[in-house]
Amino acid sequence: MRLVLSCILVVCMVAGYGETENGQKLSEFNNYRDWGIYRGDQGANQYSELDQINKENVHLLEPVWRYNTRDHTDRSAFQNNPLMIDSNLYIVSPGGRVIALNAATGREIWDFDARTEEQKNGDFSVVNRGLTYWEEDGEGRLFYTMEMSLYAIEAKTGKLVEGFGTEGVVDISENLVEDERPVSVSATTPGVVFEDYYILGMRCGETFGSSPGHIRAWDARTGEFRWKFNTIPAEGEFGHDTWEFVEGETYGGANPWGGLTVDERRGWVFAATGSATYDFYGANRKGQNLFANCVLALNARTGERIWHYQTVHHDIWDMDNPPSPILITINQDGYNRDAVVQLTKMGFVFVLDRITGEPIFPVEERPVPASTLPGEEAWPTQPFPLLPPPLVRQGFTDEDLSDVTPEIHAFVSEIYEKYRGVPMYTPFSMTPQVMLPGMSGGMEWHGGSFDPVSRMLYVNVNEMPNLIDMLQVTTLVDDSGLSPEIKGRLLYQANCVACHGVELQGVPPVFPPLQDLSMRTDPDLLTSIRLGKGTMPPYGNLPEEDIQALLAFLRNPVKIPTDLMDRPTKTVYLLNGYKRFLDDQGHPAIKPPWGTLAAVNMNTAEIKWQVPLGEYPSLVAQGIRNTGTLNWGGVVATAGGLLFIGATADEKMRAFDADTGEVLWEYKMPYAGCATPAIFELMGKQYIVICAGGSPKTPVRSGDAVIAFALPE
């Protein structure tokens, strides 16, 4: 199998094989010219050995073709990292179609559309970051997930593989939980293939009653279920005693939503999980909570745990590990050492021994504040890596308030009077506070890029604080006999408040308000609730009766009458919306830079350079430059000494000098490239392709462009 052999060559090169005595790569041992795996290779290195485009000629780079998918909405995101295999480019559009293009011309070859007629005629969109390719006996297939379905598609024709699952489809809601409760999961990031195992991590909700994020594997030929690793350990399993389980409660989350990586030589798969649910109040899940917020090494053939390392204990801040682990090799004292790098929302870079999971550089367990919310018990310590240094600011004081202009400083200072700045890992309380890094801070799903020759890690980060307001909510234990509107209110409190707020006010533009739904039809709302929409997860685990009750409440937002409180009740504490701390122009309310690109020497764990990434056009017009912007989308390093990245709110694609961080080339795109580029060679020509479609999180306008860049003939 050509692709598998190519992947093995890449992994061997990254692991220290195929090098000269001084550590230089032997290019003749690696002829990998495709971009056949999400994030570049099985180790998520986001690196290209191509050097046709280099520091001397990158200024000549120009767009050579553009393709528009024609199915975006006004709030869609286009986060796809394309695959290029055997001259074909494969993408997933904002509307959820799988499309094959001629990689040299951008001409459409075929498309696969799994949407229902209702979805096609509405404003349906998906968050999908890529596909998985697998090949056997010269026949390639693409694995694609949408909602709770896994599709196997013939790479040549775009048709479903008849011998896989049920007519080419596997239901990923099956084999997840042992009991009969309904589940609701999806996958925004593609799975990985090891041998004939297709292995997938989950996206699930972040509220009470959400589904668990267990890791599962299926037969890549037939779709037959192969194994499951419980990220929330069952009774008798290792880690079960790190939870205080409460009878009658359901437990969810602890899901590796940012993808997986594979060590082909060892036969290990690596995952990085997010927090357990509910994300911000864990009175019903006291304890350390393994395997939430963990880096995991599993046997790829059996799912058995080899080792784990927890980056946050008993997470009550939504401090997920967003991207999959990066598999690298560093040099210490003249010897190569295989390592795993985990990037985090806290801005920490954890560097772990790949064999044992132990930190390579020192990590301290430091005391952190205790919780003051009734019932909550914050873990008394948290791990702080000493090296590399954190790549973002941690904790907030009035010294951090933005002073970009006197007017902006006055505006954010007035807001800050109602809040208090606190150190990182301060538990939420009934006193409003500012959280930094925030839930969208540090490193996100895009990960980083590792150059196996220079041993440099390149990573882009966000500096984004959140305003924290907690609500005490008394809910009924028994909802029988209630009107649909009141039952819907209880369901809304349990599932929707964190995003849309207790008064349905939302947090535009990321989370829209729900106060006036007069323009939305019942079928449209029902589809959004059941199947999800864009950044909103599906709630297919809700029974039809509950969905109708939620719909009734959204149409008539009633309060819970006080005379019902004589029933058995339960008190919980909820976050009143994911509120970003922004100035009146929509910029982060802290001093710039708001987004940066950094180079970290992984041999020494030292930051070589860190520069602002992007600018806001409205500030540039005022003469305010080099602020950086919020950014989503990854960076790719090349053997030509360049770093390619879109990601920024100014809708530009840039090439940086990998040695200095200097911008050598930039191009204004029609939309922001909130995705990771793919870099490949075809017929002797090097291409850089990026999906430019914006993202509500940046925030910039949405679009649907796929743009290819190359040197002129």
Q: Could you tell me if residue 618 is inside a domain?
A: no
**Are 385 and 484 contained in the same domain?**
no
Instruction: Specify the range with the lowest mean pLDDT, choosing from 87-96, 346-355, 483-492.
Output: 483-492
What are the tokens at 371? 């919780």
Same domain, 479 and 360: no
3-class state of residue 527 by DSSP: helix
Q: Considering only 12-16, 335-339, 563-567, which range has the smallest mean pLDDT?
A: 12-16
The answer on 377 and 276 residing in a single domain is yes
CATH of the domain at 561: 1.10.760.10
What residues pair up with 41 in beta bridges, in sequence order? Answer: none
Strand order in the sheet with 62-68: 62-68, 705-710, 685-692, 678-682
Yes or no: say if 158 and 111 are a contact pair by the CB < 8 Å rule. yes
The answer to whether residues 211 and 355 belong to one domain is: yes
Domain edge (last residue) among 534, 554, 576: 576
Does this model's pTM top 0.85? My answer is: yes
What stretches of 570-706 show up as alpha helix (H) in DSSP?
617-620
- pLDDT grade, residue 1 (50/70/90)? very low
Query: Beta partners for 607?
Result: 600
Q: What is the pLDDT of residue 14?
A: 37
Amino acid 490 reads L
Last residue of a domain, one of 576, 591, 606: 576
Cβ neighbours of residue 323 under 8 Å, at least 6 residues apart? 44, 258, 259, 272, 343, 443, 444, 445, 446, 447, 448
Whether residue 482 is found in the same domain as residue 383? no
Does a structural domain hold residue 337?
yes
**340 in a domain, yes or no?**
yes
Print burial letters for 331-364: b (CB count within 10 Å at least 16), e (below 16): eeeeeebbbbbbbbbbbbbbbbebbebebbbebe
CB 586 within 8 A of CB 412: no
- Those residues whose C-beta lies under 8 Å from the C-beta of residue 450, and which sit 6 or more positions away, are 14, 43, 45, 46, 47, 326, 328, 341, 456, 457, 458, 602, 637
**Residues above pLDDT 90, as percent of the chain:** 77
Q: Which is more confidently placed, 490 or 709?
A: 709
Say if residue 353 is in the same domain as residue 498. no
Distance CA 160, CA 168 (A): 5
The dihedral sign for the CA sequence 238, 244, 249, 254: negative
State the DSSP string of 224-253: -EEEEE-SSPPTTSTTGGGS---TT----B
| DSSP run (H or E) holding 298 | strand 294-299
Q: Is residue 39 part of a domain?
A: no
Strands 456-462 and 595-601: antiparallel
Whether residue 294 lies inside any domain: the answer is: yes
pLDDT at 20 exceeding the cut of 50: no
Do residues 200 and 325 share a domain? yes
Rounded to the nearest angstrom, the gap between the alpha carbon of residue 149 and the centroid of all alpha carbons in its chain is 19
Both tokens of 240, joined, read: 């079960």
**Residues 381, 480 within the same domain:** no
* Structural domain for 295, as ranges: 190-391
370 and 266 assigned to the same domain = yes
Residues 184 and 539: beta-carbon distance below 8 Å: yes
Secondary structure of 121-149 in HEC code, one letter for each residue: HCCCCCCCCCCEEEEECCEEEEEEEECCE
- Least Cα distance to 431 among 470, 397, 376, 473 occurs for 470
| End-to-end Cα distance, the chain | 33
Residue 203 maps to which CATH number?
A: 2.40.128.630
The Cα–Cα gap between 66 and 81 comes to 16
Residue 288 shares a structural domain with residue 379: yes
pLDDT band, very low/low/confident/very high, at 556 (cuts 50, 70, 90) = confident
Mean pLDDT, rounded, for 304-317: 98
Say whether pLDDT at 560 is over 80: no
Residue 283 sits in the same domain as residue 385: yes
Element (H or E) spanning 676, and its range? none
Average pLDDT over residues 298-309: 98
pLDDT tens, position by position, 23-80:
333 333 233 589 999 999 999 999 999 999 999 999 999 999 999 999 999 989 999 9
Q: What does the block give as tokens for 9? A: 């060559």
% residues pLDDT > 70 (the chain): 90
Q: Is residue 338 part of a domain?
A: yes
pLDDT in tens, 627-652: 999 999 999 999 999 999 999 999 99
Residue 534, pLDDT above cutoff 70: no
Look at the chain and report how many structural domains it folds into.
2
Residues 215 and 351 in one domain: yes
Query: Which of 10-19, 61-70, 615-624 is the least confident region?
Result: 10-19
Structural domain includes residue 371:
yes
Which one-letter DSSP state was computed for residue 452?
T
In-domain check, residue 236: yes
pLDDT in tens, 478-504: 777 778 887 777 777 777 776 777 777
* CA pair distance 656, 646, nearest whole angstrom: 11
Residue 602: other Cβ atoms inside 10 A? 24
Instruction: Give the end of a domain, one of 361, 391, 421.
Output: 391
Neighbours of 21 (CB within 10 A): 5
Structure tokens at 712: 């002129």
